[in-house]
Amino acid sequence: MEVFFQQLINGLTLGSIYGLIAIGYTMVFGIIGMVNFAHGDVFMVSSFIALIALMVITTWLGVGSIILALLIVLIIAMVFTSLISWTIERIAYRPLRGSFRLAPLISAIGMSIVLMNFVQVAQGPRNKAVDPILNTVIILFDNGTYAVTLSYKQIMIAITTAVLLMVFWWVVAKTPLGRAQRACEQDRKMAALLGVDVDRTISVTFVMGAALAAVAGTLYLVYYGVVNFADGFTPGVKAFTAAVLGGIGSLPGAVLGGLLIGLIETFWSAYFSVEYKDVAAFSILAVVLIFLPQGILGRPDVEKV
């Protein structure tokens, strides 16, 4: 049971990071019906921005408080990542919005390759590491041979995910921006006729998704302590899988899907073969979609006639 509870904690922590990335996928797809395959690499870029900012703040500026340093790093990563995502939407996606459906998808794949190769050239192909951060652990219980622990950074990741989910759900459900986003999701042409600035709404949605990706990238750096230029693809695909599993277009569904993917990975790695953890996650996704095509919390599509 000790191993079970430890893997439960690890899986919820990993799933929280997936959930933050998945919210960006589900928001963009819900509004414009496009899978933003560059979102995973936006997450990767944000982790490098956080790495550089952390090194500058702690080494050059001499900020001693790790909490203050992380807060500044988080703000810097969110600002720069949002700017990058806004630029991508403005240059690579908006001109193709009225074209055939595959054009934005191809453009998204191209932007993903551009971001990955740019970071590879700028930062090098090797892993970039930071000193351990918030490694203090709380021993929940110990039977003498195995101790179940909970670290401060795991607590921080769980609380951050829960708070951001509530904040973004409130924004989408209760604010004028959220009403504009839901109007664009239902019918962009009708929303434009009713006075909604569709271009601005879509750009803000990309910025919101990028801000969440920046939070996820910073938490990923804190949790693992190492980043690589190729770290955008696998977490990005898993986060998109989480969004589909939870129900595309549903913010709680995206986080729920992320938690499920994280739990499947960690439990499979602990009790079975770690080499097949991704196979297990995608297999369970396929089984769920057979019986729930709209995902766990997704709404069934209504055909307009």
Looking at residue 248, its pLDDT comes to 83
Looking at residue 304, its pLDDT comes to 52
Looking at residue 71, its pLDDT comes to 93
Cα distance between residue 99 and residue 253, in whole Å? 30
Residue 195, sorted as left (phi over 0), alpha (psi -120 to 50) or beta, turns out to be: left
Quick one: CA dihedral 92, 282, 17, 51, positive or negative? negative
Calculate the CA 303 to chain-centre distance.
30
CA dihedral 245, 182, 201, 109 (to 10 degrees): 20
Q: pLDDT under 70 in the chain at which residues?
A: 300-305
CA dihedral 178, 183, 186, 190 (to 10 degrees): -170
Q: What are phi and psi of 128, to 5 degrees?
A: -115, 125
Neighbours of 264 (CB within 10 A): 21
Residue 295, sorted as left (phi over 0), alpha (psi -120 to 50) or beta, turns out to be: left
- C-beta separation of 78 from 208 below 8 A: no
Among 96, 77, 123, residue whose Cα is nearest residue 36 = 96
- C-beta separation of 10 from 184 below 8 A: no
Looking at residue 96, its pLDDT comes to 87
Looking from the CA of 181 toward its CB, the CA atoms found within 13 Å total 27
Q: Which residues of 21-42 are buried (b: 16+ CB within 10 A; e: fewer)?
A: bbbbbbbbbbbbebbbbbbbbb
Q: What contacts 80, CB < 8 A, 6 or more positions away?
A: 46, 49, 214
DSSP string, 77-140: HHHHHHHHHHHHIIIIIGGGTTS-THHHHHHHHHHHHHHHHHHHHHH-SS-EE----S--EEEE
β-partners of residue 129 are 226
Cα distance between residue 178 and residue 65, in whole Å? 36
Task: Give SS3 for 142.
Answer: strand
Q: Which residue has the tokens 């080499």?
A: 275
Query: Residues for the chain: how many in total?
Result: 305
